[in-house]
Amino acid sequence: MFEDDDFASSQRFRALPIPALCAIAVIAAFGLVFVLGDSPSKSFVLVALGAIAAPIAVGGIVYAVRHREWAPFALALVFLLIEVSFLSDSTRAPLHYGALAMLAVPMLPAVRRSGILGTGGFRLYVIYFAWAAVTVVYSLSPLYSGARLVESVLAMIALAGCVLEVRQPDDVSRLLLHFLLACGVVLVLLALSTVLMPHSISWASPQESYTAQELANYAKQGLSVDGLNRFRGMLNNPNDVGALMLIVVGLALVRWPAAQGRERLMLAAMIIASLMLDFLADSRSPAVAVGIGCALYAIWKWRLRGILLCAGVLALAAAVVSFHSGFSAYIDRGDVSTLTGRTDIWDFIVRQIQARPFLGYGYETSGTVFQSRYFPLWWGPWDLGPHSSLHNGYLGHALGLGIPATILWLFIVLRPWVFALRQPQDPWNLKPMFFFIAVPALINNFSEQALGDFGGGIIALLFGLAWVIAERSRVVALEKIRVERERAQVELPRAVAALASAQWARASR
């Protein structure tokens, strides 16, 4: 099932040297950033570079549509580059939705013919999106909710088109590698930004969360805003650097066992670079999420030895923190008791969910509820309307679509991973993907609103790619069980066939 004849054509593209491809992508991305954005230092050379990069980018999207195993590379670049701080709002939305439509719409006929959207979790996701479309009608911010729904649907179509070409484990591995290469392009741009961009732009100060009037009022009261300057490079905020680290480390660890020679050197360099940039960005939540994923993998892989290893690492970390005052002050900075103010806004959000537990307030309505006169904080990051983050993706789903739809969403996204963990064989390497990609994304979603429905951010896109791979694997496995069962039933006596049918039904759940 899900047959498609276009997979053979993608064999030609593999002959293109990957270093050359990444170099072209770096040049194209760098040029587009400066020609489309409100960069601080435009020049004729940069504008000319952007003019050259534009047709390269369009040609790359067209090629990714024709050779869909490279679609994750294009999708990841699209989602990463819209986070560039130089892009104005008037440029960001047309660029993002235009590129996403160019990738997804041409894939729609193949996706529709394959029937994949009528199977398993894909069918449930279609029902889920149908309910999301209903909520747009009464959303607190209909235009924003509708736009986010369009983004999610387009991203799902594009990712579903990618997995139509999966036939064997190597196909899965290539999809993940191409996604990782796009992250490598942005890592190079971030590294360049540490040298080429002014300190005032590439580093975020604590004062940026406050208006000039608020800072002046604090000064009159003898108060000062404390905190660390955090690296963001050319991205919107330091948390984007942390999100990139989570993705790079997870994908690199999944690829590591199969990698050899120069690829391992590349993976090691990407892991080290992303961790260093995340340290400069002071983005703690993704680091904790990756650590939990690695710990769970060690326990699953090595059982008692994994538990002892995790205990040893925790003991060593505790010893370093207790004996070094600098580390202790770093970890305890900020309002730890409220998770830097998160628990205060979560209390308000929970009360809003209790007021409308079944219908919600509209798909991805997010921080629109902060405009309520009962919300205690009306300044800084909380006065951005629907762009204000709830800092919890699970509460975000419940707030937007209601508790029943959130439960359905959790069932949809978790079922293929539970199925994969229960299987004795793992030909598509799904179990490491669960621990290094899915688990960190799910953990990080408790403190950041990062796990949308395929769209909404680079973490959601990678989680969506991993999910469509896992769900396709589940559907294919169940189809294989069904075919084998029908073939065996034909050869068995009627009474024995009835008993075997019941046993196979229990095994396929």
User: Strands 203-204, 230-231: parallel, antiparallel or unpaired by DSSP?
Assistant: antiparallel
Residue 19 has a pLDDT of 55
- Give residue 346's pLDDT band: very low, low, confident or very high (50, 70, 90): confident
- Report yes or no: 32 and 53 within 8 Å, Cβ to Cβ: yes
The predicted model scores a pTM of 0.86
Higher pLDDT, 492 or 277: 277
**pLDDT, tens digit (0-9, with 9 covering 90-100), for 232-267:** 888 888 999 999 999 999 999 999 998 888 889 999
Q: What is the DSSP letter of 341?
A: T
pLDDT, position 389: 79
pLDDT digits (tens, 9 = 90+) for 384-427: 777 777 888 999 999 999 999 999 999 999 999 999 999 999 98
Q: Which comes out higher in pLDDT, residue 26 or 292?
A: 292
Q: Identify which of 393, 388, 391, 389 has the alpha carbon closest to the alpha carbon of residue 442.
A: 393
**Residue 6 confidence (pLDDT) above 50:** no
Looking at residue 2, its pLDDT comes to: 41
How far does the chain reach from its first CA to its final CA, in angstroms? 20
Residue with more model confidence, 113 or 227: 113
Structure confidence by residue, pLDDT tens digits, 426-456? 989 999 999 999 999 999 999 888 888 998 8
Residue 70: CB atoms within 10 A of its CB come to: 24
- Per the prediction, the chain carries an average pLDDT of 81
At residue 235, φ and ψ (nearest 5 deg) are -85, 170
CA 436 to CA 451: how far, in whole Å? 15
Which of 376, 500, 429, 475 is closest to 175 using CA atoms?
A: 429
Q: Are 33 and 83 in contact (CB under 8 A)?
A: no
d(CA 32, CA 24): 12
Both tokens of 498, joined, read 């009835």
Among 161-165, 370-374, 474-478, where is mean pLDDT lowest? 370-374
Provide DSSP, 94-129: HHHHHHHHHHHGGGHHHHHHHTGGGSHHHHHHHHHH
The pLDDT of residue 253: 96
The helix-helix angle for 238-255 and 284-302 (nearest 10°) equals 20
Which residue type sits at 28? Answer: A
Q: How many CB atoms lie within 10 A of CB 399?
A: 27
d(CA 307, CA 469): 29
Averaged pLDDT, 470-488: 86
CA-CA distance, 18 to 14, in Å (whole number)?
Answer: 8
187 to each of 195, 209, 275, 277, how far by Cα in Å?
13, 26, 11, 9
Cα gap 297→433, rounded to integer Å: 10
pLDDT at residue 52 in the model: 60
